[in-house]
Structure 1
Amino acid sequence: MGLRSKLGLIFLAVSSFAILVLSIAVYNHASAARLDRTRSIADDKIKYAAEIFNQTGLPTLGTRLDDPDVPGELRQAVEDGKRATYKTDSPQSELWAAQGVDDGQILSIVEPYEASDDSMDALRQALVVGGIGTVGLVALVSVVAAGSLSRRIVAVAGTARRIAAGDLDASAVAAVGQGKDEVASLATALDTMASSLRGQLDAERRFTADVAHDLRTPVTGLLTAAELLPPSRPSELVRDRAKVLRRLVEDLLEIARFDSGMEKADLENVGLGAFVDSAVARLCMQHALAPGSVKVHRIGPDEVVVTDPRRVERILANLVVNGLRHGEPPIELTVTGRTIEVVDHGNGYPAELLLEGPRRFRSGMAERGVGHGLGLTIAAGHAKVLGGRLIFGTATTGGASARLELPERTDIES
């Protein structure tokens, strides 16, 4: 149940209870006032009848002398020298009035007393109709008020989702409008948080780019110097670590270019199936991969797509290398239309990666090996530049699955 429905039900329940209590109070007060008027009339009547009896010795106005049916409480009050009235309970309610007269006798009068009459019926009907109408009006107003509040909260939630998706320029205050209530305060706090987060991310991006640029020249010199070392086991280790450091710097520079938002795709017409075959062949040659460690399957006819082949090849290379490093061969690539799926036979991606996507400098679970967590981040960055989607999941075999979906484009002529 949404907030609008909950608030509407709360307002309706509270207003209905308040109207019910008020109606009962009004009806009870009217009943008590009617009883008081009836008692006053009966009291005046018995007083006047007693005066006539004392003068004439005859009961008048429907009074009786020493009626044996006089209630005990009323009889006791008269014996104590009081003039009193008394109402008996249902099912046969009666209103008695009595007073002592000369010679110690009791003069009394009794009349039936109905709890309701035409005036009380009219009052009850008016209270019911008015209560129902008021409840309906309150329900309408509460739905409108709750709807306005709900829409503003939904607008804040939508802005929060946009910020979480990377749109740090989204404004919650612009979405909900100006105001001084709690929702406006929440929107202002969300905008303040987004502004602070934007500043931190900008600082992080500048730091990454600056570090990568500053390291590039000394790392290149280090690698050149390592190549000049005489052949030996220590020299091989130095050259290997220098190459790893160079790849890390190149990856950081590539991420910095993504962060700058200046990357553009160089589009070409590409036969996707044939291109994947050639890209995998080049990858196997560059990395000296064992035969059969990477397999390509084509389903359906080869489709020509408008895309940037260099970026597609970079994505496939990162996915295949990640699968070989952290999963188990063979790595299987399946080309279907505009979609390429890369599957390994390892333990699959960690749960947080499937939930949040790849994060830089986080490689996931220990059983998937070690690393800087940049390969999948770079692959996702290239997919974004291409306008496609890179979806991470779990294969039916239990291994890791990454599916690249290329968009339909007509940017260039065939």
Structure 2
Amino acid sequence: MKHLIFICGLFLISPLLKSCSDSDSIVVENEEVTNIELDLKSEELIEADNAFGLDLFKEVNAELDEGKNLMISPLSISLALAMVYNGADGNTKTQMENMLHKAGFSANQINEAYQTLVESLTDHDPKVKLSIVNAIFYDQDFSVKSDFISTNQTFYDAEVEELDFNNSSSTLNRVNGWVKDKTNNKISKIIDQVSAEDVMYLMNAIYFKGQWTYQFEKDNTTDRAFYTENENELQVPTMMLDETTLNYTGTSQFQLLELPYGGEKYSMLILLPNEEYSTDDVIAEMNQSNLNDLLENLHERNLKVYLPKFEFAYANSLVDNLKALGMNDAFFASLSDFSGISDIPDLYISEVKHKSYIKVDEEGTEAAAVTGVTFGVTSVGPEPVFDVNRPFVFAIREKDTNAILFMGKVNNPLLNE
């Protein structure tokens, strides 16, 4: 029995910009921020990705251990699944379409829309470095259909390499070396061993590095109280931004603050639950319509901001989550149909692995979080201080398209995993 190991590697790399080497610095001279204008299908695809991301975020959050931190990338997962989708057929393909909210799209429309989106995002803001890369590694004894390879090379710029999977040490070194290289050494490996039945690894890596538009001064960082959801008080290094004009909105359940990066095309959204609510309350109400309402209702407000520094890694298998969302047949050899990849009849996905890393400091950040909560009415204006002193949800988005790159929540800023 053969396996298709599908590995979705999400890599979020935080910028300690001033400590980076010259070769890794962000060059901004004589470069301008671009504007992204998408066609209708590309806009619909982003809406579908965001909807899928919210669905998945809820599933992953529901099984999260109490007090732990969480981060996923809907874009990374969607891109990796899109490559797999090019080899799916029958009920397997239909289930993937429904789960990804892409029923009604043709394969060509999906591929072209992703190609346009990725090309637009990666050279969008000179003060934000965004790299989105894909790879396919397959066993030299495994026969892969040329159309599957050429499609993923054409639309996803996938790096394709044939390896000797019988030489497990060499294969591990090559695959994990690719991961280490594409994540600037922040994640050292994605696979622990090469199974005798492994025949293919599909990879996606996203690297994000951005400077705050309004930087937090290091001299203003002090230890402040942070209250966990079980009412423990922690002393956490907390950054402070003096009163600044920022985008803000509020609902009956939470406050939403937008902190921009660079030329303000990318931003972090911070959803801070009101004291009588929890992050789970906020996440439970998320949907695409609510998210759109929130973003449309952002308005300028002068606020002083306190934000804890944090750094953590996250790792998880997404197999059970994807099954729960309706992508079931792909994980069973007796049900799966990946005839677009190979003529081997029992080809199926044995693993979907997801890893991420984030660090937020005074100079910049990279993170994940999405929010869409039933939009309520805030009858009283907020205090002129936005104090993130309790668990919160966060997201990184591109503003022209509203594409959500990353989603997450912080229960404890002191936890590193």
- TM-score, with length taken from structure 2: 0.23
Larger Rg: 1
Structure richer in helix, relative to its length? 1
Structure richer in strand, relative to its length? 2
- TM-score, with length taken from structure 1: 0.23
